[in-house]
Structure 1
Amino acid sequence: MKSPVRSFSTPALCASVASLLVLTACNKKAPQQGAPPPQQVEVLTVKPRPVQIRTVLPGRTEAYEIAMVRPQVSGVIQKRLFVQGTDVQAGQQLYQIDPSIYQAAYDSANGQLAQAQANAVTARAKLERYGPLKAAHAVSKQEYDDALAASRSADAQILIAKGQVENAATNLRYTHVNAPISGRIGRTILTVGALVQAGQSSNLAIITRLDPIYVDVNLPAISLLRLRREAASGQIHTNPDNSVPVSLELEDGSTYDQAGKMQFSEVNVDEATATIVVRAVFPNPQKYLLPGMYVHATLDEGTNPQALLVPQQAVTRNSHGDPQVMVVGEDDKIAQRAITTGSTHDSDWIVNSGLKAGDRVVVIGLQKVHPGDKVTVTPFREAAAPDAQPANVQPTDAQPAGASSSDAGKN
């Protein structure tokens, strides 16, 4: 018996073949893409070079001397004897207060002194007459003692009268309101005809001595220790009197043509900011500097012959504010390196520790790499660097509070 032969129609056969092809295609794995190429970064090879080190600190000018002119006696102002805004000399009369009542008091005190002196003459004469009479027992001892007491009382009245004369003379002198110091006088507060009172809180005028003038800056306490060591070792050039010279940059960027010197530092460190007030003094013969001006004081710390510089854009900071950089190792892999920075030089940080000559620091491409990544290295192009910062500004001036200072040694 013959086996039955199955017959397939042409459409069914075509559908079966198509399904088989679809299943075969689905079972094939999709071709894998190749690994991404290494990220390209621009690096700077660190090389030591000599750099002039300067510490630049912000500060304010302060008056060398200030005198507030106030009346010492009460009365009406009769005259104003100065021009506002001009220089006056110590002892120069500024105002005249009506002296009439003080002249009368002075004359009265002189009269009382003359009367006391006359009484003293009579008392001494009586005492001199009673001396021999007492020896001859012509007067009693009580009468002699009374004469002696009267003479001494008359002498005491002379002293009292002299004190009253001096007091009256002083008040009379105070009607001449004189300048207590030499300097430039400001605007007058009261005019002629105004009534002034002794001990009043308001000023008649204010005199400010402008030459010389102080500049007060806030210096990190640790920087002050470093500067003192450098001055003692001779690294910082000092004046013949052992003072440290200081130059001054004004708010408009110009340089003040007179050199100053460090004169004084506060005895206490501000616990909140870890800074100390340092005072420099500058000659100001042209009265160009005025109190309250914002300035930058610059200390020349000499030359560092082996300074290591990295662009500021290559330095980042961790959550604690400590500076760090990305470096490329010999295997072209990224590693993170903690550093400590000093002052700035143009647009670069001066690195105190954490780097050595020959290290390759990532400058461009920092945002696209992480420690352990393999990278493709190209030299850093100086043209890509940001515009130069003001030269040699201390980190205390260039970074917010909380970040590491130039000398705090944070790493």
Structure 2
Amino acid sequence: MVYLLPPKLPLVKHASLTLGLLALTALGGCSNEPQGAGGRPTATVGYIVATPSTVPLPATLSGRTVAYETSQVRPQVTGVIRKRYFTQGSYVRAGQPLFQIDPSLYEAAVNQARANLASARATADAASAKAERFKPLAEMEAIAKQDYTDALAEARVAKATVQQMAATLDTAKINLRFTTVPAPISGRIGRSLATVGALASASQADPLALIQRTDPIYVDMQQSAAELTSLRRKLAAGGVKPGDTTVHLKMDDGSQYELPGTVEFSEVTVDQDTGTVTLRARFPNPDGLLLPGMFVTAVFDQATDPNAILVPPTSVQRDFDGSAYVMVVDKDNKAARRKVTADRTYEDSSVVTAGLKKGDKVIVQGLNGLRQGTEVKPTPASTPQKIAPPQAAGSGKGA
């Protein structure tokens, strides 16, 4: 059997290869990075210092618009509708005539009452004159005193009758005025619920029309009684402070209503069917964009938390059970996991309400692969990194 041996390399090539390996080994051992446990380079991380901030506690509630004022146009006398003076869907002012009911019967009643009043006045004048004539005769005992007493009583009864007839005339005039049905309030009137020729009655169930005032306009919001009770307890304990009463609206299409509103009051009772409390806010509505009955979303700062800590959302991580934690730098410059409560955001930051205290160094940069107990080199976040320019080939100390 014949064995083929590899050709021998020249001595010069062996020496060059050996020197190259030694040079690479020397360069690897000359690294300037700090070494951690096990000879690994210490990870450089960026941190921020936890600082308490005043953060609002926004409440997002579903609501529905309600007219500021609503009035039903109802007849107060009975009669046939002769005219309609308004345009359906237009804006009407308080006192503006809307319907005309046939006034014939009421004009006749006024004339009759006026005549009755004139008759009563004439009777009263005669009775008064008779009593005046009987007075001196009774004093002279020319007539019986009883006759004078009867004449005086008749005069007083006649004056009372005059007052009764005057009141009857006033009532007839009022009923005649009611034949013209005016607008009780200013606002937008809907469709006419009665046509010309229909019989209107003071006791009818349906109104003639409906007027709604929509500038300003109310928004009734529903909040859970449990949430409201929890908020009141926090306010009583001093954990949070009362917020602002300014409210902003979001429309059904997601757009923002430009004009802010103000919370006016909340109900003192809880709805037994829904377990909610109604809060009412008032909004200006000069352009009539908000119509009664619309569904909207109201957002307002119901309270403020003065002890909240804001951190970047990327620094908040989640365990398998969904609980939140952050990595902090401990006193030995090692990474440590810290369980926190961060269930909401504010602007571009996550709000931490528990788990951190003032002065903690929260790691926000260099989190990839970072584990509990890893030795780190903490640096304030966003510190500019110094990068040395590349050296020319064949020059420098390591060449």
Report if TM-score (shorter chain) is over 0.5.
yes
How far off its partner does 1:55 sit?
2.5
Instruction: Name which of 144, 151, 154 aligns with 1:140.
Output: 144
Q: How does 1:191-270 map to 2 (within 5 A)?
A: 191-219=195-223, 220-222=227-229, 225=232, 236=243, 244-270=245-271
Q: Which moved more, 1:298-307 or 1:221-230?
A: 221-230
Match of 2:179 in 1: 175
CA distance 1:189–1:222, change in 2 (3 Å): same
Q: Give the 3 Å change call, closer, same or farther, for CA 88–338 of structure 1 in structure 2.
A: same
1:279 aligns to 2:273 (yes or no): no
In 1, distance between residues paired with 2:319 and 2:96? 60
> Higher mean Cα deviation, 83-92 or 257-266?
257-266
SS at match of 2:95: coil
Once residues 209 and 105 of structure 1 are traced to their aligned partners in structure 2, the CA distance between those partners, rounded to angstroms, is 36
Specify whether residues 328 and 195 from structure 1 end up closer, same or farther in structure 2 by C-alpha distance, changes over 3 A only.
same
User: Contact 1:47–1:308 (CA<8 Å) still a contact in 2?
Assistant: no
Letter in 1 for 2:103: P
Is the contact made by 1:90 and 1:182 (CA closer than 8 Å) also made in structure 2?
yes
Shift in alpha-carbon separation, 1:307–1:159, aligned structure 2, 3 A:
same
Tell me which amino acid in the other structure corresponds to 1:221: L
Aligned to 2:20: none
> What's the TM-score, normalizing by structure 1?
0.63
Paired-residue identity, %: 42
Judged with a 3 Å threshold, the aligned counterparts in structure 2 of structure 1 residues 84 and 273 are, in CA distance, closer, same or farther, namely closer
Q: Which letter does structure 2 place at the counterpart of 1:144?
A: Y
Assess if the C-alpha contact under 8 Å between 2:50 and 2:361 holds in 1.
Answer: no
Name the CA distance, whole Å, in 1 between partners of 2:246 and 2:237.
13
Shift of 1:180: 0.1
SS of the residue 2:353 aligns to: strand
What is the rounded CA distance, in whole Å, between the counterparts of 1:191 and 1:146 in structure 2?
Answer: 58
Q: 1:271 to 1:196 in 2, by over 3 A?
A: closer
Distance change (3 Å), C-alpha of 1:258 and 1:328: closer
Range 283-292 or range 308-317, more displaced: 308-317
Structure 1 alignment gaps of length 5 or more: 1-44, 238-243, 318-322, 361-373, 378-411
Distance 1:298 1:334, change over 3 A: closer
One-letter code aligned to 2:200:
V
| Residue of 103, 107, 132 corresponding to 2:107 | 103
**Distance in 1 separating the partners of 2:319 and 2:195:** 62
What is the CA distance between 1:234 and its match in structure 2? 7.7
* Residue of 84, 87, 110 corresponding to 1:83: 87
After TM superposition, give the deviation of residue 150 of structure 1 in Å: 0.4
- Residue 307 of structure 1 aligns to which amino acid in structure 2? I
Kindly provide the CA deviation profile for residues 17-49 of structure 1, in whole angstroms up to 9, marking residues without a partner as x: xxxxxxxxxxxxxxxxxxxxxxxxxxxx99857
Letter in 2 for 1:288: L
The structure-2 alpha-carbon separation of the partners of 1:142 and 1:280, relative to structure 1 and needing over 3 Å to count, comes to same
Aligned position for 2:292 = 291
Gaps of 5+ in 2: 1-46, 364-370, 375-399
Deviations along 1:58-108, whole A, 9 cap, x unmatched? 211111000011111111111000000010000000000000001101110
Residue 259 of structure 1 deviates from its aligned partner by 1.9
Instruction: Please say if residues 46 and 308 of structure 1, whose CA atoms lie closer than 8 Å, have aligned partners that are also in contact.
Output: no
The residue that corresponds to 1:382 in the other structure is: none
CA RMSD, Structure 1 to Structure 2 (Å)? 4.0
Structure 1 residue 253, shift from structure 2 partner: 1.6
